[in-house]
Protein backbone atom coordinates (compact mmCIF):
# COMPACT_ATOMS: atom_id res chain seq x y z
CA UNK A 1 0.00 0.00 0.00
CA UNK A 2 1.43 3.37 -0.85
CA UNK A 3 0.45 6.99 -1.17
CA UNK A 4 -0.38 8.52 -4.52
CA UNK A 5 -0.22 12.25 -5.25
CA UNK A 6 -3.47 14.23 -5.42
CA UNK A 7 -3.73 15.33 -9.08
CA UNK A 8 -6.95 17.35 -9.46
CA UNK A 9 -5.99 19.14 -12.70
CA UNK A 10 -4.62 16.14 -14.58
CA UNK A 11 -7.58 14.07 -13.43
CA UNK A 12 -10.07 16.76 -14.41
CA UNK A 13 -8.43 17.12 -17.85
CA UNK A 14 -8.45 13.35 -18.26
CA UNK A 15 -12.11 13.25 -17.29
CA UNK A 16 -12.98 15.95 -19.82
CA UNK A 17 -11.16 13.98 -22.57
CA UNK A 18 -13.10 10.84 -21.59
CA UNK A 19 -16.28 12.91 -21.95
CA UNK A 20 -15.16 14.31 -25.31
CA UNK A 21 -14.45 10.78 -26.59
CA UNK A 22 -17.84 9.55 -25.33
CA UNK A 23 -19.57 12.46 -27.06
CA UNK A 24 -17.68 11.88 -30.32
CA UNK A 25 -18.55 8.17 -30.34
CA UNK A 26 -22.22 9.07 -29.99
CA UNK A 27 -21.86 11.72 -32.71
CA UNK A 28 -20.16 9.38 -35.21
CA UNK A 29 -21.58 5.90 -34.55
CA UNK A 30 -24.45 6.61 -32.14
CA UNK A 31 -23.26 4.32 -29.38
CA UNK A 32 -22.39 4.59 -25.70
CA UNK A 33 -18.69 4.40 -24.86
CA UNK A 34 -18.82 1.33 -22.65
CA UNK A 35 -15.50 -0.46 -22.44
CA UNK A 36 -17.22 -3.73 -21.50
CA UNK A 37 -19.68 -3.59 -24.39
CA UNK A 38 -17.08 -2.56 -26.96
CA UNK A 39 -14.75 -5.37 -25.87
CA UNK A 40 -17.35 -8.12 -25.47
CA UNK A 41 -19.03 -7.21 -28.76
CA UNK A 42 -15.76 -7.77 -30.60
CA UNK A 43 -16.03 -11.50 -29.88
CA UNK A 44 -19.55 -11.79 -31.27
CA UNK A 45 -19.73 -9.04 -33.91
CA UNK A 46 -22.95 -8.63 -35.87
CA UNK A 47 -20.96 -7.92 -39.06
CA UNK A 48 -17.49 -7.21 -40.40
CA UNK A 49 -17.94 -3.47 -39.99
CA UNK A 50 -19.23 -4.02 -36.43
CA UNK A 51 -15.97 -5.81 -35.64
CA UNK A 52 -13.92 -3.12 -37.41
CA UNK A 53 -15.17 -0.10 -35.45
CA UNK A 54 -14.74 -1.93 -32.15
CA UNK A 55 -11.21 -3.08 -33.01
CA UNK A 56 -10.27 0.41 -34.22
CA UNK A 57 -11.61 1.99 -31.02
CA UNK A 58 -9.68 -0.46 -28.83
CA UNK A 59 -6.49 0.03 -30.86
CA UNK A 60 -6.90 3.78 -30.40
CA UNK A 61 -7.35 3.35 -26.64
CA UNK A 62 -4.14 1.32 -26.41
CA UNK A 63 -2.31 4.07 -28.32
CA UNK A 64 -3.20 6.58 -25.59
CA UNK A 65 -0.23 5.86 -23.29
CA UNK A 66 2.24 6.21 -26.19
CA UNK A 67 0.79 9.64 -27.07
CA UNK A 68 1.17 10.71 -23.44
CA UNK A 69 4.74 9.41 -23.52
CA UNK A 70 5.49 11.37 -26.72
CA UNK A 71 4.07 14.59 -25.27
CA UNK A 72 5.39 14.36 -21.73
CA UNK A 73 8.38 12.04 -21.99
CA UNK A 74 6.86 9.71 -19.42
CA UNK A 75 4.69 6.62 -19.71
CA UNK A 76 1.55 6.89 -17.55
CA UNK A 77 2.16 5.26 -14.17
CA UNK A 78 0.73 1.77 -13.66
CA UNK A 79 1.47 0.87 -10.05
CA UNK A 80 -0.02 -2.45 -8.98
CA UNK A 81 -0.01 -2.66 -5.18
CA UNK A 82 -1.47 -6.19 -5.08
CA UNK A 83 -0.26 -9.73 -5.81
CA UNK A 84 -0.55 -11.34 -9.25
CA UNK A 85 -3.05 -13.82 -7.84
CA UNK A 86 -5.27 -11.04 -6.51
CA UNK A 87 -4.99 -9.28 -9.87
CA UNK A 88 -6.20 -12.35 -11.77
CA UNK A 89 -9.00 -13.09 -9.28
CA UNK A 90 -10.06 -9.45 -9.50
CA UNK A 91 -10.07 -9.63 -13.31
CA UNK A 92 -12.27 -12.73 -13.32
CA UNK A 93 -14.70 -11.23 -10.82
CA UNK A 94 -14.86 -7.95 -12.78
CA UNK A 95 -15.57 -9.88 -16.01
CA UNK A 96 -18.46 -11.80 -14.46
CA UNK A 97 -19.86 -8.70 -12.76
CA UNK A 98 -19.81 -6.37 -15.77
CA UNK A 99 -21.45 -9.01 -17.96
CA UNK A 100 -24.36 -9.65 -15.59
CA UNK A 101 -24.53 -5.96 -14.68
CA UNK A 102 -24.48 -4.95 -18.38
CA UNK A 103 -21.73 -2.37 -17.96
CA UNK A 104 -18.89 -0.84 -16.03
CA UNK A 105 -17.50 2.54 -15.01
CA UNK A 106 -17.49 3.94 -18.55
CA UNK A 107 -20.80 2.49 -19.76
CA UNK A 108 -22.94 2.98 -16.65
CA UNK A 109 -20.84 5.46 -14.67
CA UNK A 110 -20.22 8.00 -17.43
CA UNK A 111 -22.46 7.41 -20.46
CA UNK A 112 -25.49 5.96 -18.68
CA UNK A 113 -25.39 8.54 -15.89
CA UNK A 114 -25.03 11.31 -18.48
CA UNK A 115 -28.26 10.02 -20.11
CA UNK A 116 -29.84 10.00 -16.62
CA UNK A 117 -30.65 6.31 -17.12
CA UNK A 118 -32.23 4.95 -13.90
CA UNK A 119 -30.57 1.56 -14.56
CA UNK A 120 -27.14 3.16 -14.80
CA UNK A 121 -27.66 5.30 -11.71
CA UNK A 122 -28.60 2.19 -9.70
CA UNK A 123 -25.69 0.21 -11.18
CA UNK A 124 -23.16 2.99 -10.49
CA UNK A 125 -24.29 3.56 -6.89
CA UNK A 126 -24.17 -0.22 -6.34
CA UNK A 127 -20.67 -0.84 -7.68
CA UNK A 128 -19.23 2.28 -6.03
CA UNK A 129 -20.64 1.16 -2.65
CA UNK A 130 -19.28 -2.36 -3.09
CA UNK A 131 -15.86 -1.10 -4.19
CA UNK A 132 -15.60 1.15 -1.13
CA UNK A 133 -16.66 -1.77 1.10
CA UNK A 134 -14.26 -4.22 -0.56
CA UNK A 135 -11.25 -1.91 -0.23
CA UNK A 136 -12.16 -1.20 3.41
CA UNK A 137 -12.43 -4.89 4.22
CA UNK A 138 -9.23 -5.86 2.40
CA UNK A 139 -7.13 -3.02 3.81
CA UNK A 140 -8.57 -2.41 7.26
CA UNK A 141 -10.40 -5.57 8.36
CA UNK A 142 -8.24 -8.29 6.86
CA UNK A 143 -5.30 -5.89 6.82
CA UNK A 144 -3.74 -7.12 3.59
Q: Site residues for other proteins, window 36-95 (CB under 8 A)?
A: 36-37, 39-40, 43-44, 49, 52-54, 56-68, 75-82, 84, 86-95
How would you classify residue 73: left for phi > 0, otherwise alpha for psi between -120 and 50, otherwise beta?
Answer: left
- Please report whether residue 142 would count as binding other proteins according to CB under 8 A: no
Q: How far apart are CA 77 and CA 65, in angstroms?
A: 9
Instruction: Determine the distance from the C-alpha atom of residue 105 to the mean position of all C-alpha atoms in its chain, rounded to a whole number.
Output: 5
Closer by beta carbon to other proteins, 73 or else 118: 118
Query: How wide is the angle at C-alpha 78 spanned by C-alphas 21 and 86, nearest 5°?
Result: 110
Of 21, 42, 40, 43, nearest in space to 32 by CA = 21
Site for other proteins in 1-30 (CB under 8 A): 1-30
Task: Write down the least CB distance from residue 101 to other proteins, Å.
Answer: 3
Report phi then psi at 11, rounded to 5: -70, -40
Task: Write down the least CB distance from residue 23 to other proteins, Å.
Answer: 3
Give the three-class secondary structure for 37.
helix
How would you classify residue 27: left for phi > 0, otherwise alpha for psi between -120 and 50, otherwise beta?
Answer: alpha
Closer by beta carbon to other proteins, 73 or else 79: 79
- Please report whether residue 101 would count as binding other proteins according to CB under 8 A: yes
Task: Write down the least CB distance from residue 123 to other proteins, Å.
Answer: 4
Closer by beta carbon to other proteins, 44 or else 73: 44
Closer by beta carbon to other proteins, 73 or else 132: 132
Closer by beta carbon to other proteins, 28 or else 73: 28
Amino acid sequence: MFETAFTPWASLAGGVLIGVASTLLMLFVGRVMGATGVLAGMFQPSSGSDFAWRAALLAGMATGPAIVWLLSGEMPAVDVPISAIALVIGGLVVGVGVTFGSGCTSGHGVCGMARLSPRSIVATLTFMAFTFATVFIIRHVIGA
